Chain A
Amino acid sequence: MWKKHLISFALLLVVTVVTIGYPHGTDDWFSFLGSNDQNTWNLLVIYRIPEVFIAIISGFSLSVSGLLLQTTLNNPLADPSILGLTSGSHLMVALTIMGSSILGLEVLDLGITISATIGVLIFGLLILVIATRVRSMVSLLLVGMMLGTFVSAITNIILMKADANSVKGFSIWGMGSLQQVSIEQIPFITLLFAIGIVSAFLLTKPLNTLVLGEKSAEILGVRVRRARWSVLLVVSLLAGLVTAFCGPIGFVGLVVPNLVRMFYKTANHGHLLLASGLTGASVMVLCALMIRIFEPVVVLPINSLTALLGAPVVLFLLLKNIRNA
Chain B
Amino acid sequence: MLKFESCSIGHSKMLYQIPDLNLEKGEFAALIGANGSGKSTLMDLLIQGKFPNGKVTIGNQNWNDLKPVERAKTITLVDNHFLGFDYLKVSEYLELGRHIYTNFTGRLSENDREIVQKYADLLHLTSLLNQSTSTLSDGERQRAGIAKALIQETPIVLLDEPTAFLDYPTKKEVMLLLAEIARTNERLIIIASHDIDFCIDFCSRILVIEKETKELKSYGQINHDELVERAFGI
Contact = CB atoms under 8 A, between A and B. Distances in A.
B159 to A, nearest CB: 12
A267 B92 contact: yes
B72 A221 contact: yes
Contacts of B18: none
Interface string B82-98: 10011111001000110
Interface string B60-87: 0000000011011100110101100111
Contact of B82 (A208, A216, A261): A216
A211 B76 CA distance: 17
Interface stretch (B5-13, B101-109, B170-178, B189-197): B101-109
Nearest to A201: B105
Contact of B73 (A204, A213, A221, A223): A221
A202, A208, A223, most chain B CB atoms within 10 A: A208
Contacts of B106: 204-205, 208, 270
A223 B81 CA distance: 21
Contacts of B86: 261-262, 265
Interface of A is mostly: helix
Nearest to B75: A219
Contact of B77 (A219, A266, A270): A219
Contacts of A220: 72, 96-97, 99-100, 152
B57 interface: no
B52 to A, nearest CB: 18
Interface residues of A, number: 24
A212 B87 CA distance: 12
B88 A267 contact: yes
Contacts of A219: 47, 72, 76-77
Contacts of A223: 68
B126 interface: no
B205 to A, nearest CB: 23
A218 B100 contact: no
Given A219-B76, A262-B87, A265-B132, A270 B105 contact: yes
Interface string B104-119: 1110000000000000
B204 interface: no
B92 A221 contact: no
A222 interface: yes
Nearest to B87: A261
A262 B87 CA distance: 7
A209 B79 contact: no
Contacts of B87: 261-262, 264-267
Contacts of B132: 265
A168 interface: no
A221 B47 CA distance: 10
Contacts of B88: 211, 267
A4 interface: no
12 contacts: A205-B102, A215-B47, A216-B79, A219-B72, A219-B77, A220-B97, A220-B100, A221-B99, A223-B68, A265-B89, A267-B89, A268-B92
Given A215-B47, A267-B92, 13 more contacts: A218-B47, A219-B72, A219-B77, A220-B96, A220-B100, A221-B68, A221-B69, A222-B99, A261-B86, A265-B86, A265-B89, A267-B87, A267-B89
Interface of B: 47-48, 68-69, 71-73, 76-77, 79, 81-82, 85-89, 92, 96-97, 99-100, 102, 104-106, 132, 152
